[in-house]
Structure 1
Amino acid sequence: MNWKETGIRGGVLAFPVSPFLGGLAIVGVTVWVWWREWRELLKRPLVWSLGVFAGLLVLSSFAAIDRSSAFLGLFNFLPFLVVFIAVSSIVRHPFQLRQLSEAVVLSSIPVVVVGLGQMFLGWNGPIDWGILLFWPLEKGGAPPDRMSSVFEYANVLANYASIIWALGLGLSIEAFQTQRLKRFLLWSGICLGNSIVLLLTNSRNAWGVAFACCVAYAVYLGWRWLVAAIASVATIVLAAAFAPEPFRSPLRRIVPAYFWARLSDELHPDRPIEMMRVTQWTFAWNLGIDRPFTGWGLRNFTALYESQMGLWLGHPHNLLLMLVAETGFLTTLVLCGIVAWVFFRGVQVLRPLGSIDRLMLFTVMVAFGSIVLFHLFDVTLFDSRINILGWLLLAAIEGVDRQSPVTS
């Protein structure tokens, strides 16, 4: 393992607890790679595709109503594109996927511990060590009674835990197949801890993503009995939440109210229509229709929604619709095309790999897919820890794709 790989892994390990220290390591490696290899990097067609995407983002910022907000919004994308390109030239082999996955999963241990302390031991902050470390750590969670741990909000933690869940399942399966008991117990234990986190975030999105990950692994492994079991459990829970009477009453005596009441939103029967996702999605889509080529500018959705609905809202709870509204259809399609191409090549590479290498690539693809799925119902990339994980996982897939003789 060279120092660049060590830097990436060290950065990943530190990032959830201290974005500054983690970012310092990852940015340091990124700068070094670009300084030494920029000519080679610029020969790759994918880099030019990302350049087109970046250019369209800048163009949309010039056309924005609030240009200062739009240009600030570029920092949620442009630096991460640079990191993606650098990391995809470092991670090129399946064994590196395992190393990266292990670092990401291990990084969740302090997050789980702090979260449990927050919910059961009364731990609270804020814990502020300047740029080195800052945890809001609201007593009882943020919002109340929903675990948030080192993150500002429960949904961000939920997205993070769903990524760990996806990677941890893959590592547990690999350890089981290779008969490494200690590793199996380690990864399974971390998965169990993150399962508790997923439950206590009370995030419907995360629960759905976790179920989807289980189905993906069950299908991959050919465990039809597990697919049937997962489908049965999901059907019972959903029926308890949404089925008409008289079917749902007996099911609600079986399924804990913690689940069906949250899924059916009966915990908040008086939720304003402006807070409903359908309202937000419709508004974002109409913004895109009004300015289909450039959008209204990054970070401009909030002001537009507030002026129309009288309610402050940071985003429309769907990344694609947010991009359509703020950057236009073309920019959104370019990004979707790049991601889809990398993913498609990953599927092509899967078959010729050995069983363990194939499992590790599949694991990283499932983890990245969990991020994509989560962002169909929420937008958490504004937290750099989620943002960097998404781009690192996609970079790992791209690096292995490019190295494979199947796609080269």
Structure 2
Amino acid sequence: MKTILNFKTGNFLFRTGIFLLVSAPIFSSFLFLFSIFISSYKNYKNFLLDKWNYPFFLASLFLIISVSISSLDPFSNKIEGWSNYLNWVSLFNWLPLFFCIWAFKPYLCSSKSRKIILLLLLSGSVPLIISGFLQVFFDMHGPFNIFNGLIIWFQREGEPGLTGLFNNRNYASLWFTILWPICLAILSQRKNGSKFYIYIFSILIISSIYLTFSRNGLINLFLSSFIFLKASLSIWIFLFLILLITLLIAAVTNIFPISLKEFAISILPSEVIGRFSIFENLEVFTSNARFSIWLSALEFIKERPFLGWGAASFPILYETQHDICCYKSYLQWYGHTHNIQLEMALNYGLPFSLLINTILIFVFYKSFKKIFLFKRKDKNLEEINLNKFEKAWWTSSFTFFFSQLFDIQYYDLRLNIIFWIFISGLIVKIQEPVKKAKNLQEI
């Protein structure tokens, strides 16, 4: 038994789960479960010693209290057609993943370990790229069966943009933008050797983001490039991205001379310009469905600020108020609030939302200081190269968090797992001196 329950086995299962996450999430989930069991079994004595567990324990307590009180008849939301069962089931989107933050730490205990995770994430995404290109260029939608139907890949026909294995273009675009900083980290390595394949891979990822026709994806591409390139790569690439952003703003607004607007429209793809046309003026922006959703969500939160309305309550509330079905068209989806902070507050109350987001902002702040601002004069080439991957880790994590301000892809199993793995890695980075002092076993 001891031979099986060792860190090497857990590490192998965890890394294999990372590699299979996007293409075989069910297999990946079982591998993660076994790796969690092993790390918990080996490190259970350290659970209460890790002070980073306390805020997530408090958040879990808020969550359970909110759901429990809302289950009582005097405090029920009284929404016709809504079941409290949804509230209890929704806990699986949060509580197990809070525990995973601690359980995954031994597998993320060093910069080298985190680098390997990023490389596995990148290489494991090849099926996503292939499926997307088969869908767009060859009109192949599947289904493709593997292992006698145990794994099925397919893309829904009739949907605009590349969706790939996610079957949703916004989910796919977020995954691609998570991969993009990893490509930048590899390209910025200070060592000899051909980078031909990673250049090809980078072009494929950028092309995939464009083919999703996702506003969020393009914004995240620019954001992650800005964060990473500003400190790590050529100033010319950075200036090129600024030029592209300027042209896009010129094409969809009237703040630049008409000659520049016409030039920008002539060279930028019409699909990209169309996706950002809502920013043309304030009237167009405020008439957008998403703006209406945010205002409605704020009104609902005011009515039940401490307990929330319960998971999956928003589409019913919105339909009751506006007499609009949750799905009107692919551009008008009313199934959630399109903002994770509003979503948490509306579902479970403001205390839970404020606590979780405060924790995450603090994690990003502390880890940013250690990764981007902390400098040592005695860094060798290996440390410099590893730091590029640390920057990619932070950038991918923050890109995910930022994207949830305008849409919610969190509820996809693959995406919420990788997000909390990223957060776990950032906390490990913050803890590094403490970790070494407590002799946390590294894999």
Paired residue for 2:157?
139
1:94 aligns with 2:111: yes
Asked whether the equivalents of residues 158 and 198 of structure 1 are also in contact (C-alpha less than 8 Å), the reply is yes
Contact conserved, 2:232 with 2:388, CA < 8 A, in 1? no
SS at match of 2:163: coil
Percent of aligned pairs with the same amino acid: 19
Report the equivalent of 2:120. Answer: 103
Where does 1:239-388 land on structure 2 (aligned, <5 Å)? 239-243=250-254, 246-247=258-259, 248-265=261-278, 276-309=289-322, 310-312=324-326, 313-350=334-371, 351-352=374-375, 354-388=383-417
Alignment match, 1:44: 50
2:141 aligns with 124
The structure 1 residue matched to 2:66, chosen from 60, 64, 83, is 60
The alignment status of 1:205 with 2:212, answered yes or no, reads no
Question: Structure 1 residues 76 and 94, CA, compared in 2 at 3 Å: closer, same or farther?
Answer: same
**Counterpart amino acid of 2:25?**
P
Whether the 8 Å contact between 1:20 and 1:132 is mirrored in structure 2 is no
The equivalent of 2:418 in structure 1 is 389
**Is contact 2:339-2:405 (8 Å) kept?**
yes
Report the Cα distance in structure 1 between the residues aligned to 2:15 and 2:353, rounded to whole angstroms: 31
**Residues 274 and 315 of structure 1, relative CA distance in 2, 3 Å threshold:** farther
Does the aligned pair in 1 maintain the 2:18–2:120 contact within 8 Å? yes
2:248 aligned residue = 237
TM-score normalized with structure 2 length: 0.83
Identify the residue that residue 379 of structure 2 maps to in structure 1.
Answer: none
Deviation at 1:329, TM superposition (A): 1.6
CA contact (8 A) 1:171 1:187 kept: yes
Q: CA deviation at 1:352?
A: 4.4
Aligned-pair distance for 1:404?
3.1
Q: 1:171 aligns with which of 174, 177, 186?
A: 186
Greater Cα offset, 113-122 or 79-88:
79-88
Q: In structure 1, how many angstroms separate the alpha carbons of the residues matched to 2:19 and 2:404?
A: 23
Query: What letter corresponds to residue 212 of structure 1 in structure 2?
Result: L
Of 344-353 and 282-291, the range deviating more from structure 2: 344-353
Cα deviation, residue 127, structure 1? 4.0
**For 1:129-179, what per-residue CA distance to the aligned partner results, in whole angstroms no more than 9, with x for missing partners?**
688323341236xx23x11111121111111111111222222222xx122
Contact 1:298 1:326 in 2 (8 A): yes
Contact kept, 8 Å, 2:285 with 2:291, in 1: the verdict is: no
Please state how far the C-alpha of 1:226 moved relative to its aligned partner: 3.3
Give, in angstroms, the shift of residue 22 of structure 1. Answer: 0.8
Structure 2 distance, partners of 1:346, 1:169, is 19
Q: Does the aligned pair in 2 maintain the 1:114–1:149 contact within 8 Å?
A: yes
Q: Show structure 1 runs of 5+ residues with no match.
A: none
Q: How far apart, in 2, do the equivalents of 1:400 and 1:291 lie?
A: 38
SS at match of 1:228: helix
On the 8 A contact 1:296/1:327 being kept in 2, the answer is yes
Task: Pick which of 196-205 and 308-317 moved more.
Answer: 308-317
Question: Does structure 1 conserve the Cα–Cα contact (< 8 Å) formed by 2:128 and 2:164?
Answer: yes
Task: Report matched runs for 1:4-19 at 5 Å.
Answer: 4-19=10-25
CA distance in 1 between counterparts of 2:275 and 2:188 reads 31
Output the amino acid matched with 2:152.
F
> Which deviates the most, 52-61 or 398-407?
398-407
Paired with 2:242 and 2:165, the residues of 1 have a C-alpha distance of 33
**What SS is found at the alignment partner of 1:134?**
strand
Rounded to whole Å, the distance in 1 between the matches of 2:396 and 2:106 is 20
- 1:189 aligns with 200
1:383/1:321 Cα in 2 relative to 1: closer, same or farther (>3 Å)?
A: same
Ranges in structure 2 where 5+ consecutive residues have no aligned partner? 1-6, 71-75, 78-82, 327-333, 377-382, 438-443
Q: Is the 8 A contact 1:169 1:188 kept in 2?
A: no
Residues 134 and 80 of structure 1: is their aligned pair in 2 closer, same or farther, counting only changes over 3 Å?
A: farther
CA distance in 1, matches of 2:285, 2:226: 34
Aligned-partner Cα distance in 1 for 2:165–2:396: 21
Quick check: 2:252–2:277 contact (8 Å CA) kept in 1? Answer: yes
Cα shift at 1:3 = 2.7
Measure the CA separation in 2 of the matches of 1:274 and 1:88: 45
Instruction: Describe the shift of the 1:315–1:134 C-alpha distance in structure 2 as closer, same or farther (beyond 3 A).
Output: farther
Tell me, in whole angstroms, the C-alpha distance in 1 between the residues paired with 2:35 and 2:154: 29
Larger Rg belongs to: 2
Distance 1:274 1:83, change over 3 A: farther
The 1:206–1:112 alpha-carbon spacing in structure 2 relative to 1, beyond 3 Å, is: same
Q: Quote the offset at 1:406 in angstroms.
A: 10
Give the residue type in structure 2 aligned to 1:159.
Answer: L
Counterpart of 1:301 in structure 2: which amino acid? Answer: F
Tell me the TM-score normalised to structure 1 length.
0.90
d(CA) in 1 for partners of 2:103 and 2:375? 26
Alpha-carbon distance in structure 1 between the residues aligned to 2:424 and 2:19: 17
Distance 1:382 1:127 in 2: 24
Q: Deviations over 1:185-237 (max 9, x none)?
A: 33332222111110110001110110111111221127444333222221111
C-alpha contact (below 8 Å) 1:301/1:315 kept by paired residues: yes
CA distance in 1, matches of 2:375, 2:245: 34
Q: CA deviation at 1:44?
A: 1.2
- List per-residue Cα deviations over 1:93-129 (Å, max 9, x = no partner): 1111110100111111111011101111121233466
**1:360: Cα distance to partner?**
1.8
Q: 1:407, CA displacement in angstroms?
A: 10
Report the residue type matching 1:173 in the other structure. Answer: S
